[in-house]
Chain A
Amino acid sequence: MEVNEQNIYKALELVMDPEIPVLNVLDLGMITSVTFSDKGVHVKMIPTFAACPAVELIRRNIHSVLQDYLHTEIIVEIDKTESWNSNRMTETAKQKLKDFGIAPPKVYNGEDYSEYFLGTTCPHCSSKDTYLRSPFGSTLCRAIHFCKDCGQVFEHFKPLD
């Protein structure tokens, strides 16, 4: 496989988030740059939440998937100049999340978070008659909601500023 930008991005599509296995690192907006030097391919990434326990695993996965795909030296580093926010997530990612049963984050535009928890659309029945049960869920990036129409609890990928 030729080592070029297109192929690197194609390979990055294969690196999935261990906690949400339908999303890859590009869907999540975790990759901040891909550059080349005589040492190899440099990939810079950012974690979603500062305390995300999966960061190191994702970093190693990017390394091994790219190495297998491109057979060249890969250097994966954490980008300290940028920080992740939920608006980095692509539209495709939001659709995949919804299909997976997790409500995607709304576009964050600087308001108080409480505004973002009113009427979160239920990923099961699409009702907006829902309420926030807890801003903390099974992983740091998820909140728990309840849908009054279908009577089910659902998770929501939290908007992050």
Chain B
Amino acid sequence: MINTTAINALLTAMADDALIQGHRNSEWTGLGPIMEEDIAFSSMAQDKIGHAWALYKIMQEELQGGDPDQFAFLRNEKDYKCCHFVEHPNGEYDFSLMRHFLFDHAEAIRYELLQQSSFQPLQPLAKKLKGEIKYHTLHANAWVSQLCRAGEESHARMQSALNTCFPLALGLFEPGGEAEEILIAEKVYPGEKAIKEIWLDKIYNILSVAGLNLPAEKDAEPVYGGRKGYHSIYLQPLLEEMGAVFRTDPAAIW
């Protein structure tokens, strides 16, 4: 019997990251620099929010969790476990694209590894989501390499976005303490550090081809706190907006 508290913590963090990143993606709807990018970010928003829902659904069905909609919209800020990286506003397109690139590669690796999870309900979902996220990384890779070849200003902005994003992105792998140790021992997943190592290799290769310098991990101060419920100043206003319609009548059937 796998430790329910530990697995809940992992699933909540993954789902909350997907939910908040999904909402940030949706903020590009109607504002993208070209229509195809409008469609791309809107589609990725739909995927991410769907992925969050599927994870909340597993928590409901397998771990005595609550209704996915209520769980997504009605918690207090401290009960969300997303990392600061996804909470930050979209900023300009360079930041959004770089976050999308770093975030989606991390998710792709996480789901790839979760296909072998000892927590059986995760296996088919991980397989499915991994296949879908491949389209997100395909999109991110194409834009990162294209913008890095698009002249001096474009390259400089991508490098600067990478420098800004990197310490935040390390927050995706915030150590989970004892709960994480249990999950590793139970073979639910190989742990944050293992995912991070594969991620660093993966992004290093793509960024090098694009001519960008990946900052050294030892010089970066990882932005942690989200997994423990300590959030950036950006989360609370986002939650208020995100749940505004839902809260007008939580029992409504749409």
Nearest opposing residue in chain A for B45, CB measure: A51
CA distance A12 to B194 in the complex (A): 46
A34 within 8 Å of B (CB atoms) = no
Q: Are A158 and B135 in contact (CB under 8 A)?
A: yes
B232 shortest CB reach to chain A, Å: 26
CA distance A27 to B95 in the complex (A): 42
B181 within 8 Å of A (CB atoms) = no
B125 within 8 Å of A (CB atoms) = yes
A80 within 8 Å of B (CB atoms) = yes
8 Å CB interface, A130-161 against B: 133-138, 140, 143-144, 158, 160-161
Q: Are B53 and A51 in contact (CB under 8 A)?
A: yes
A114 within 8 Å of B (CB atoms) = yes
Q: Which of B76-84, B126-134, B163-171 contacts A (4 or more CB under 8 A)?
A: B126-134
8 Å CB interface, A29-58 against B: 49-53
B149 shortest CB reach to chain A, Å: 17
Q: Are B128 and A83 in contact (CB under 8 A)?
A: yes
B46 within 8 Å of A (CB atoms) = yes
Q: Are B132 and A160 in contact (CB under 8 A)?
A: yes
Q: Are A140 and B131 in contact (CB under 8 A)?
A: no
Q: Are B47 and A50 in contact (CB under 8 A)?
A: yes
Q: Are A84 and B128 in contact (CB under 8 A)?
A: yes
Q: Are B128 and A50 in contact (CB under 8 A)?
A: yes
Asked if A136 meets B43 with Cβ closer than 8 Å, knowing A82-B124, A114-B138, the reply is: yes
CA distance A158 to B135 in the complex (A): 9
CA distance A80 to B130 in the complex (A): 16
Asked if A113 meets B50 with Cβ closer than 8 Å, knowing A134-B39, A135-B40, A136-B44, the reply is: no
Asked if A113 meets B51 with Cβ closer than 8 Å, knowing A80-B121, A161-B130, the reply is: no
Across chains A and B, the number of contacting residue pairs, with CB separation under 8 Å, is: 68
B172 within 8 Å of A (CB atoms) = no
Picked from B50, B54, B124, B134, the residue with its CB within 8 Å of the CB of A161 is B134
B36 within 8 Å of A (CB atoms) = yes
Nearest opposing residue in chain B for A84, CB measure: B128
Q: Are A81 and B53 in contact (CB under 8 A)?
A: no
Q: Which residues of the other chain, A, contact B125 by a CB distance below 8 angstroms?
A: 50, 83
Q: Are A83 and B124 in contact (CB under 8 A)?
A: yes
A150 shortest CB reach to chain B, Å: 20
CA distance A137 to B54 in the complex (A): 22
Q: Are A113 and B135 in contact (CB under 8 A)?
A: yes
B139 within 8 Å of A (CB atoms) = yes
Picked from B40, B49, B50, B127, the residue with its CB within 8 Å of the CB of A49 is B50
A85 within 8 Å of B (CB atoms) = yes
Asked if A51 meets B49 with Cβ closer than 8 Å, knowing A83-B124, A133-B36, the reply is: yes
A83 shortest CB reach to chain B, Å: 4
Q: Are B132 and A134 in contact (CB under 8 A)?
A: no
CA distance A112 to B134 in the complex (A): 8
CA distance A134 to B32 in the complex (A): 14
CA distance A143 to B46 in the complex (A): 15
List A residues at the B interface (Cβ < 8 Å): 49-53, 80-85, 112-114, 133-138, 140, 143-144, 158, 160-161
17 pairs, A vs B, C-beta closer than 8 Å: A50-B47, A50-B50, A50-B125, A51-B49, A51-B53, A81-B124, A83-B124, A85-B131, A113-B134, A134-B37, A135-B40, A135-B139, A136-B135, A137-B43, A138-B39, A140-B46, A144-B39
Q: A83-B124, A135-B138 are in contact. List 17 more A-B contacts (CB 8 A).
A: A49-B47, A50-B47, A51-B46, A52-B50, A80-B121, A83-B127, A134-B37, A135-B40, A135-B135, A135-B139, A136-B36, A136-B43, A136-B44, A136-B135, A136-B139, A137-B39, A140-B46
